[in-house]
Amino acid sequence: MVISFCCGKGGTGKTTSTYNIGAALAQAGKRVLLVDNDQQGSLTLSMGYEPQMLSLTLANLMFQAIDMPEQLEQSVEQTIQKTTNNLHLIQANNKLAGTLSRLVSMQNTRAMFPLDDGSIAPERVLSAIVEQVKDQYDYILIDCSPHLDLQMLNALVASNRVIIPTQAHFLDTAGLNDTIEIIRKVQQSLNPNLRQVDILLTMFMSRTVLNQKCAGTLWRANAYLYRANRLLDQSSRTSGCWDQFAGICTEKWCSTGLPCSSRGGHAL
């Protein structure tokens, strides 16, 4: 199962959710690969690595998938950080900005010379990398940047599911439309296997009127909604809360396979 964490709004908890859900799944015995698909390298940092010190990153793999696909399998193996037995990472840093420029130029070339010369499509580069390892993991979680760009498109094309972390604030819920629109387009034209889209409410405080109203708006939308108000920031990972969170993940999410099955809702 490949799940992307995407939202066109910054600071909504994409990285924190990817990290916490990945760690909880690993703690529950699943084999998990986290993919840092953001040049900020926040997920890499959360996992305890210094992004700028790393020489092998997702950027190298993406260039390799484009230029030397025959060596990709070996490079993926060398790049993956085996942080614990079953929690692994493909790390990133600001070199990913160079990859994005390359993807954009590939797209422009394709628009000008639409002949199929057998080269990889710019939106399928990450899929080629995921394909190399997907049999080795139960879950591959991809953390995206807040930009609705080709890098995010790559993540959506490689995924079976998308989770949209969002805060119950006016600007966040209003901004959801753009993210949902791009996901719909990917479902229709590039990746029919992208079957489930869920909205994950982060940093939810049921006491505030604003949070209650925005959550109500989301409920009325045709969206799956999983109200996880106990997702934890990595810095507050005290053991008691952590166990509680792992419980949410394993009971309500992993075992049912549907993040919000107990609360209903409609697939997008």
**Interface residues toward ligand ATP, by CB under 6 A:** 10-16, 38, 40, 42, 145-146, 202-203, 231, 233
Rounded-to-integer distance, Cα 144 and Cα 7, Å: 8
- Decide whether 40 or 93 has the Cβ nearer to ligand ATP: 40
Q: How far apart are CA 68 and CA 42, in angstroms?
A: 28
CA distance 200 to 176: 12
Nearest approach in angstroms of CB 168 to ligand ATP is 12
Q: How far is the CB of 78 from ligand ATP (least distance, A)?
A: 27
Q: Is the separation of the CB atoms in 168 and 211 below 8 Å? A: yes
Q: Looking at beta carbons only, is 14 or 161 nearer to ligand ATP?
A: 14
What the block records as the tokens of 138 is 């139960």
Nearer to ligand ATP, 87 or 231 (CB): 231
Closest residue to ligand ATP, judged by C-beta, is 13
The residues binding Mg ion (CB under 5 A) are: 14-15, 42
Nearer to Mg ion, 44 or 127 (CB): 44
Closest approach, Cβ 189 to ligand ATP, in A, equals 26
Q: DSSP per residue over 97-137, as a string?
A: HHHHHHHHHHHHHHHH-----SPPPGGGHHHHHHHHHGGG-
184: Cβ contacts below 8 Å, ≥ 6 apart: 268
- For residue 10, the partner it binds in ligand ATP, Mg ion, none, with Cβ less than 5 to 8 A by kind, is ligand ATP
Nearest-approach distance from CB 102 to Mg ion, in angstroms: 22
**44 is in the binding site of which of ligand ATP, Mg ion, none (Cβ under 5 to 8 A by kind)?**
none
The distance of closest approach from Cβ of residue 210 to ligand ATP in the complex, given in angstroms and rounded to an integer, is 16
Closest to 59 (Cα-Cα) out of 78, 77, 73, 39: 39
* Distance in angstroms (rounded) separating the CA atoms of residues 206 and 3: 27
Q: How far is the CB of 11 from ligand ATP (least distance, A)?
A: 4
Q: What is the distance of C-alpha 207 from the center of its chain?
A: 29
CB-nearer residue toward ligand ATP: 11 or 69: 11
Q: Closest CB to Mg ion among 38 and 123? A: 38
